[in-house]
């Protein structure tokens, strides 16, 4: 079994984007599925931002 299993995140809104950013920071970038396609997600916070590579799939 892999140390980092594949995780699908459905609905990258405020909470989903935060979860995706935390997963990305520990080396486990999830498959992203949302209502609208995007090339990446950006979580902005007081100390900067975390860019989660996409794509965000919409189909």
In a domain, 1, yes or no: no
Tokens read off for 38: 């995007």
Please tell me which residue, 7 or 5, carries the higher pLDDT value. 7
Confidence of residue 2 (pLDDT cuts 50, 70, 90): low
State pTM to two decimals. 0.83
Distance separating alpha carbons of residues 46 and 12, to the nearest angstrom: 20
The number of residues in the chain equals 59
Sequence-distant (6+) residues with CB within 8 A of 2 are none
Q: Is 3 part of a structural domain of the chain?
A: no
What is the number of structural domains in the chain?
Answer: 1
Residue 30 lies in domain: 8-57
What pLDDT is attached to residue 59?
82
- DSSP characters for 34-56? -SS-EEEEEEEETTEEEEEEEEE
Return the bridge partners of 57, or none: 33
36 domain residue, yes or no? yes
Instruction: Summarize pLDDT for 8-42 with one digit per residue, the tens.
Output: 999 999 999 999 999 999 998 899 999 999 999 99
Q: Is the pLDDT of residue 1 over 60?
A: no
């Amino acid at each position: 079994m892999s140390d980092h299993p594949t995780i699908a995140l459905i609905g990258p809104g405020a909470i989903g984007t935060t979860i995706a950013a935390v997963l990305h920071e520990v080396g486990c970038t999830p498959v992203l599925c949302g209502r609208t396609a995007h090339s990446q997600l950006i979580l902005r916070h007081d100390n900067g931002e975390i860019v989660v590579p996409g794509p965000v799939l919409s189909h």
